[in-house]
Amino acid sequence: MRSIPAAALAAMLFAASGPAAPQTGPPASTLIRHARLIDGSGTAARSADVRIAGDRVVAVGRLTPAADERVYDAAGLTLAPGFIDTHSHHDRGLDTAPDAPAMVSQGVTTIVVGQDGGGIDLAALFARLERQPAAVNVASYAGHGAIRDRVMGKDFARAATAAEIGRMLVLLKAEMDAGALGLSTGLEYDPGIYSTREEVLALAKVAASAGGGYASHIRSEDRWFWEALDELIAIGRHHRMPVHVSHIKLGMHDLWGQAARLLGVLDRARADGVQLTADIYPYTFWQSNLGVLYPKRNFADRAETDFVLSHVALADDILFNSFRAHPDYAGKTLAQVAALRGTAAAQTLMDLLAEPGGESAGIVARGMADADVERLIQWPFANVCSDGQSRGLHPRGFGAFARVVGPWVRDKRLFSLEEAVRKMSSLAAANAGLVKRGLIAPDYFADLVVFDPSTIADRADFGHAQDLAAGVRTVWVNGQIVFDTGKTAGVHPGRPLRRAAK
């Protein structure tokens, strides 16, 4: 069926109601012409024009410009839905840098925050984003760790009582009412690591009842990986709710090469009816704190330390990102710091952890094998995320999306360009529970990116982690241009995205 273009409709209405008022503000619609359209569904690229009016896509096909319409010539470049980062820490600093260059320069138009058990007071967050919006849309999970902290405070290193769990359920219900996408946990971190399976299961039920999902940085990404994965799958099975493995990884040398086994576990769970998905970033390095290397927090244990440095991350592969007591260690490896201090790596690690703030020193560490990351990212239910932020040493915050849609399609040939885009748009939207985003189709929000598939690439790397990606020409958020030819536009049409009512 053919619909009347919005601009033509507006012209007809004006004609019927007397002389048109002098035009102020933006044109009624924009026609994006001569695009190579990849609509986000995974279907093959095709030549098409796209009309946007207000904050929506209103028509897709072979279209002719209306009289008062702005025309954007895509000149044969690829037009895709704006990318959705389902695991982001880019909310840090977004209030002071609302242009969000790390994101929009890669074509990212929506970020999902409140990850790893963080995320609380969402009503206030969303109200602030309405008063003081950013260039990108922001959705959020409610965080188990933040809720647990509110209830248990400093006395967190134990199982919660039934009464404490009851108070957590009430807090989570309020966050779900405020529009949280679901519950996030960070079970490898304080205070989530001390929760029982029963506590997490009880909280997940509140998210499920509200129509939300469960996204987890699982209890172990190394030593007890399989048990941790089982905990997540059991939650999905028990509550019949969507469950999502955050930044899935085989994060220990002993696990390297087991991607096929992992995919077997994931596929069997799905075949069993569990609504199981994952996100993943395209790097073999993770970023966290020093304490996370010791799940028992036994920092003075020599045997544990030797185990960490031979199985989890090598001294050459642990890079200091930030260390309040030793700012000069930033950018140095543990091996280099050990040489500087004249102590063996294991002793150095224990000494640093004995210092105030040692446990929370920021590190980047190589924990994964290239072949596993490349195999896991191809899983049809794995969408792309950054796990990134706008500061720090890890390049993922400025490069994850451009890396996958560029070099990992062109050079590594892991999947087609259409599949890469699907993993960043419609699949990401589905996995996070976002509606009317992630596809280019009438009535969908006009979050769009025009990029050159032959040049798009990440430029951020270790040592220059904040270099903007190349190859993205123009980005729209809710119908407005936020990035064009290398520059942010200084407009902030991003919105808080609350969970859709079911």
Q: Which is nearer to Zn ion, 49 or 116 (CB)?
A: 116
Q: Which is nearer to Zn ion, 217 or 422 (CB)?
A: 217
Least distance from Zn ion to the Cβ atom of residue 195, Å: 16
d(CA 435, CA 182): 14
- Helical packing angle, 396-405 and 417-424, nearest 10°: 140
Beta-sheet pairing, 56-61 with 46-53: antiparallel
Least distance from Zn ion to the Cβ atom of residue 57, Å: 33
Least distance from Zn ion to the Cβ atom of residue 399, Å: 18
Q: Which is nearer to Zn ion, 116 or 190 (CB)?
A: 116
The footprint of Zn ion (CB under 5 A) covers: 116, 217
Helix, strand, or coil here: 474?
Answer: strand
Q: Which is nearer to Zn ion, 217 or 423 (CB)?
A: 217
Provide the H-helix boundaries in 186-258.
197-209, 225-239
Cis omega (within 30 of 0) for bond into 191: yes
As to burial, measured by CB atoms within 10 angstroms (0-12 exposed, 13-18 middle, 19+ buried), residue 68 is middle
Q: Which is nearer to Zn ion, 59 or 319 (CB)?
A: 319
Least distance from Zn ion to the Cβ atom of residue 240, Å: 25
Instruction: State the Cα angle at 429 between 424 and 435, rounded to 5°.
Output: 145
Least distance from Zn ion to the Cβ atom of residue 114, Å: 12
Per the listing, tokens 């409140």 go with 114
Least distance from Zn ion to the Cβ atom of residue 423, Å: 19
**Which residue sits closest to Zn ion, CB atoms considered?**
217
Nearest to 246 by CA among 375, 114, 138: 114
Q: Which is nearer to Zn ion, 99 or 116 (CB)?
A: 116
Least distance from Zn ion to the Cβ atom of residue 394, Å: 12
Least distance from Zn ion to the Cβ atom of residue 126, Å: 23
Residues 6+ positions from 32 with CB-CB distance below 8 Å: 49, 50, 51, 52, 72, 74, 79, 448, 450
Cα dist from 277 to 49, 184, 255, 494, whole Å: 33, 14, 20, 26
Q: Which is nearer to Zn ion, 81 or 117 (CB)?
A: 117
Per the listing, tokens 């798009």 go with 456
Per the listing, tokens 């209030």 go with 95
Q: Which is nearer to Zn ion, 286 or 444 (CB)?
A: 286
The two three-digit tokens of residue 396, written as one number: 């993922």
